[in-house]
Amino acid sequence: MVLICLIENSPDDVEVAQYVFDDCGLEIDLEIYRDGRIAIFELGRSVSPDLILLDWHLGRASGLEVLQFIKNHPELKKVPTVIFSTSKNETDILNAYQNYCNSFLIKPLGLDETIKALKDTVLFFCQTSMLPPK
């Protein structure tokens, strides 16, 4: 069983992600947080995911703030963290990598492309790549 933490405030993107996770052939347990501050609280107290998918533009706490929390947390910092955002801003991308994200994916405009990008990402990090031990 793979635990994925999805931090995303767009209901449409959450729905697409749920479809992808149900269809990718892996046993996935999904934790969804639609707000950065709630994600920080929940991740800090008990959740130990295998992969974190993080939107950059969130309510109350930004993707950068959530990423900084994750990468400064003694147990979470080893968890692969992928930014999945509409932002093409070079400063956002640089900030994400300077704060140790594992990948910055720009959300494609089309549904089919979004499904493929999410599926490829999940399969890479949860099947092809070796995840760190818990």
Please name each of the domains of the chain with its CATH number: 2-128 (3.40.50.2300)
Two tokens, residue 114: 């979004």
CA dihedral 52, 107, 64, 97 (to 10 degrees): 80
- Output DSSP code: residue 127: I
Alpha helices in 4-126 (DSSP H): 11-23, 36-45, 63-72, 90-98, 111-123
- Output DSSP code: residue 9: -
- Biggest CA-to-CA distance, the chain: 37
Q: Is 111 helix (H, G, I), strand (E, B) or coil?
A: helix
Question: In angstroms, rounded to a whole number, what is the distance separating the alpha carbons of residues 84 and 102?
Answer: 11
Residue 118, pLDDT score: 93
Two tokens, residue 129: 């790549």
Q: How confident is the model at residue 132 (pLDDT cuts 50, 70, 90)?
A: confident
Tens of pLDDT along 80-124? 999 999 999 999 999 999 999 999 999 888 899 999 999 999 999
Two tokens, residue 38: 């709630």
> What's the pTM value of the predicted model, to 2 decimals?
0.93
